[in-house]
Chains A and B, each alone.
Chain A
């Protein structure tokens, strides 16, 4: 039940995403709402694991659209992102049709006449039949619209960015042999980036720029609640408070929302009722992914737990 009509209000976006288990901040909801209103792609930046990719999935699920994902990496090019000719099929068809060639050229006496005959058949080998659509072209061809996720655009080369420009601004691509393919229904485009390198101004200009940072405590509690329903309220408050304390440290990689959710799952599995020194020490490796970070956080664990549980009492 694809719904291509723009949504009525920002609140509707918020509740729609919430129904899919994605708790969006006001800013995210505004971005999604605007992207539908003015038909612009959203460029999402932020640290790893704050739900950039999840956002695209949630939109697709909410609006009942297909999600097409293009994972970017160094060396990604036109042939893998846009379209490719089915060379093998073309080759095979030429082999099969070799015998037919005589019939086609049957009456031709001279070379020039034969060529003329051939021209009347047109470019059969460079028609839609032989195009292998890759994610970008697929997204344009979806009759009911779709969510196109271009993931980690910062990992691709600068040339690939330029390739995207036509799609992003006009929702069309140009294939030299076939002409311009326009979108049947404009897709909702989400680009994500970890800011590994600065993206070009031309690309940024065509997008709404959304930065998702670490969520506020209240919001993060709601996110954990929606993702890990089995967790008790006190434990949730404590663990989110604890994670917020951890984020004040100077670490190599700060724990993000996805780590918070994983940790909540682990705590539920271990049937912890509240945070204590022992259990945090045993499960800290879920939150922190570097040995050095764990070492840096370890001495602070007790103070953080104390702080987090005190917060739980008052709020």
Chain B
């Protein structure tokens, strides 16, 4: 059973539950306390000892159900290795007898696997598959591309070579036997394929997800396919969670060296002002205040969508976010984003200001007229856009004033640096007034940009 528990821990890790060695020891001790008799209690025990968040509990519960729905490898002879096992089954007289009665063919000269298949002993076959899976280290499967390899390894371990020889021999001497063996082999292939697929589901899920996320992180946001949008949203939420964890730590930090005389005296009043306990001056750090101006025209819209989602998922880290969207003119969209789901909010924003040709000059003018007061010396202003103003007046002077009023002015441009300044791009002119200008085309770049902005406040 120990072996089984270890395989379960491995499956749990595959399902994304972080199981440390210490936790697996705890789980072992707990299991030895409650026993295996009641599956519901066993499940609860694992949920208590291994999973440490609700998400993990859900994942582990699913994993438990999946894991214990498959046949368990032979329990009573765990110390015998696989080949012994097969010999034993091969020399098992009852299996022979079965084979005889079923086929009626002389099978003194066929291998153990062939005998097993002829006898149609399901439990023996599934046991053999489970043992062969262990021998082939099936729990190490990580990617779907490994399916073929593992399938072959398992079949080899079960004695495929011998079976093939048997079939070859039988084709000449006993065609009907050869046919039956061939059918059985095809069936066996199917069963093994299923076993491997299930193992992949069990052990490889996290790895596959990591790979997918890694690809997604580096994919250009503006050009991802509609079916990937939901995945991308999940990824953005993950990024937001990571940033929250990193930056939501308490922001007060002791500044040793400056004695807070007032607080020290108060604190030590009880023992006549003798300073047993010292209080030191602390420096409070502001939480970031962000004003975001997002271009929602054409190809930039999707990047803006994800950017707004990220910024608005950072409640714990960011004190105050005001977002504005523009293409031809500019409106404030903070309320829409707060109240509605990302999909609906984006739809509404697009209906209000999207689908126009972008006019940066006009939009900046709108901002200066109505919302300039939103910018304080603690504010970071982020402009997200490709700076393609259709040859209209760029009004860089407004951007200059915004830069002067704010703590920092960051421009994120989804286009590559190569094309800045070509065609109707006003990027070089705007860039002179920005504290930072960076390319921001993928989720990775987006994460780094936002992370840097928040970090300047720490």
- State the Cβ distance, A9 to closest chain B Cβ, in Å: 9
Q: Is A236 an interface residue (CB 8 A)?
A: no
Bound Cα distance A31, B48 (Å): 7
Establish whether residues B44 and A27, one from each chain, have CB atoms under 8 Å apart when the complex forms: yes
Residues of B within 8 A of A (CB): 18, 20, 22-23, 26, 29-30, 33-34, 40-41, 44-45, 47-49, 51-54, 57, 245, 248-250, 270-272, 274, 276
- Contact for A211 among B49, B57, B245, B272, CB less than 8 A: B57
Establish whether residues B34 and A30, one from each chain, have CB atoms under 8 Å apart when the complex forms: yes
Establish whether residues B30 and A37, one from each chain, have CB atoms under 8 Å apart when the complex forms: yes
Bound Cα distance A123, B182 (Å): 88
What are 8 of the A-B contact pairs (CB < 8 Å)?
A: A10-B34, A31-B44, A34-B30, A38-B26, A88-B271, A205-B52, A209-B57, A211-B57
Give chain A residues whose Cβ lies under 8 Å from the Cβ of B29.
37-38
Give chain B residues whose Cβ lies under 8 Å from the Cβ of A293.
none
Q: Please encode chain A, from 176 to 217, with 1 for each CB lying within 8 Å of some chain B CB and 0 for all others.
A: 000000000000000000000110010011001111000000
- State the Cβ distance, B403 to closest chain A Cβ, in Å: 35
Q: Is A26 an interface residue (CB 8 A)?
A: yes
Establish whether residues B49 and A208, one from each chain, have CB atoms under 8 Å apart when the complex forms: yes
Q: A37-B33, A211-B54 are in contact. Are A30 and B48 (CB under 8 A)?
A: yes
- State the Cβ distance, A34 to closest chain B Cβ, in Å: 5
Establish whether residues A158 and B249, one from each chain, have CB atoms under 8 Å apart when the complex forms: yes
- Contact for A208 among B18, B48, B248, B271, CB less than 8 A: B48
What residue in chain B is nearest A211 (Cβ atoms)?
B54
Give chain A residues whose Cβ lies under 8 Å from the Cβ of B271.
87-88, 91
- Contact for A10 among B41, B51, B54, CB less than 8 A: B41
Q: Is A259 an interface residue (CB 8 A)?
A: no
Give chain A residues whose Cβ lies under 8 Å from the Cβ of B26.
38, 40, 208
Give chain A residues whose Cβ lies under 8 Å from the Cβ of B49.
34, 208-209
Given contacts A91-B272, A210-B48, A211-B54, 15 further A-B contacts (CB under 8 A): A10-B34, A26-B41, A30-B34, A30-B44, A31-B48, A33-B34, A34-B48, A37-B30, A37-B33, A87-B271, A87-B276, A208-B30, A208-B49, A209-B49, A209-B52
Establish whether residues A205 and B20, one from each chain, have CB atoms under 8 Å apart when the complex forms: yes
Q: Is A225 an interface residue (CB 8 A)?
A: no
- Contact for B45 among A34, A45, A88, A198, CB less than 8 A: A34
Establish whether residues A197 and B41, one from each chain, have CB atoms under 8 Å apart when the complex forms: no
Establish whether residues B270 and A88, one from each chain, have CB atoms under 8 Å apart when the complex forms: yes
Establish whether residues A26 and B276, one from each chain, have CB atoms under 8 Å apart when the complex forms: no
What residue in chain A is nearest B274 (Cβ atoms)?
A91
- State the Cβ distance, A155 to closest chain B Cβ, in Å: 12
Establish whether residues A205 and B22, one from each chain, have CB atoms under 8 Å apart when the complex forms: yes
Establish whether residues B51 and A209, one from each chain, have CB atoms under 8 Å apart when the complex forms: yes
* Residue among B18, B271, B274 facing the most chain A CB atoms (10 A cut-off): B271
Establish whether residues A30 and B33, one from each chain, have CB atoms under 8 Å apart when the complex forms: no
Q: Is A262 an interface residue (CB 8 A)?
A: no
What residue in chain B is nearest A206 (Cβ atoms)?
B22
Q: What total of chain A residues lie within 8 Å of the partner, measured CB to CB?
A: 25
- State the Cβ distance, B337 to closest chain A Cβ, in Å: 18
User: What secondary structure prevails in chain A residues at the interface with B?
Assistant: helix
Q: Is A157 an interface residue (CB 8 A)?
A: yes
- State the Cβ distance, A161 to closest chain B Cβ, in Å: 12
Establish whether residues A26 and B44, one from each chain, have CB atoms under 8 Å apart when the complex forms: yes
- State the Cβ distance, B313 to closest chain A Cβ, in Å: 15
Bound Cα distance A201, B29 (Å): 20
Bound Cα distance A8, B23 (Å): 24
* Residue among B18, B52, B271, B276 facing the most chain A CB atoms (10 A cut-off): B52
Establish whether residues B276 and A30, one from each chain, have CB atoms under 8 Å apart when the complex forms: no
Q: A26-B41, A205-B23 are in contact. Are A34 and B34 (CB under 8 A)?
A: yes
Bound Cα distance A27, B33 (Å): 15
Give chain A residues whose Cβ lies under 8 Å from the Cβ of B18.
201
Q: Please encode chain A, from 6 to 38, with 1 for each CB lying within 8 Å of some chain B CB and 0 for all others.
A: 000010000000000000001100110110011
Q: Which of A199-252 contact B (CB under 8 A)?
A: 201, 204-205, 208-211
Give chain B residues whose Cβ lies under 8 Å from the Cβ of A30.
34, 41, 44-45, 48
Establish whether residues A157 and B30, one from each chain, have CB atoms under 8 Å apart when the complex forms: no
Q: Which of A150-174 contact B (CB under 8 A)?
A: 157-158
Q: A30-B48, A87-B271, A210-B48 are in contact. Are A158 and B250 (CB under 8 A)?
A: yes
Give chain A residues whose Cβ lies under 8 Å from the Cβ of B20.
205
Q: A10-B34, A40-B26 are in contact. Are A204 and B52 (CB under 8 A)?
A: yes
Give chain A residues whose Cβ lies under 8 Å from the Cβ of B276.
87
Q: Please encode chain A, from 37 to 60, with 1 for each CB lying within 8 Å of some chain B CB and 0 for all others.
A: 110100001000000000000000
- State the Cβ distance, A47 to closest chain B Cβ, in Å: 11
What residue in chain B is nearest A169 (Cβ atoms)?
B22
- State the Cβ distance, B24 to closest chain A Cβ, in Å: 11
Establish whether residues A87 and B270, one from each chain, have CB atoms under 8 Å apart when the complex forms: yes
Establish whether residues B52 and A34, one from each chain, have CB atoms under 8 Å apart when the complex forms: no
Give chain B residues whose Cβ lies under 8 Å from the Cβ of A87.
270-271, 276
Bound Cα distance A87, B270 (Å): 9
Establish whether residues A198 and B48, one from each chain, have CB atoms under 8 Å apart when the complex forms: no
- State the Cβ distance, B127 to closest chain A Cβ, in Å: 32
- State the Cβ distance, B269 to closest chain A Cβ, in Å: 11
Bound Cα distance A37, B23 (Å): 15
- State the Cβ distance, A45 to closest chain B Cβ, in Å: 8
Give chain A residues whose Cβ lies under 8 Å from the Cβ of B274.
91
Give chain B residues whose Cβ lies under 8 Å from the Cβ of A201.
18, 52
What residue in chain B is nearest A31 (Cβ atoms)?
B48
Bound Cα distance A157, B33 (Å): 35
Bound Cα distance A138, B248 (Å): 33
What residue in chain B is nearest A35 (Cβ atoms)?
B48
- Contact for A209 among B33, B48, B249, B270, CB less than 8 A: B48
- Contact for A198 among B23, B51, B245, CB less than 8 A: B245
Give chain B residues whose Cβ lies under 8 Å from the Cβ of A45.
54
* Residue among A38, A40, A88, A157 facing the most chain B CB atoms (10 A cut-off): A38
Give chain A residues whose Cβ lies under 8 Å from the Cβ of B248.
197
Bound Cα distance A166, B363 (Å): 58
What residue in chain A is nearest B270 (Cβ atoms)?
A88
- State the Cβ distance, B9 to closest chain A Cβ, in Å: 14
What residue in chain A is nearest B29 (Cβ atoms)?
A38
Bound Cα distance A198, B250 (Å): 13
Bound Cα distance A209, B33 (Å): 17
Bound Cα distance A87, B45 (Å): 47
- State the Cβ distance, A7 to closest chain B Cβ, in Å: 11
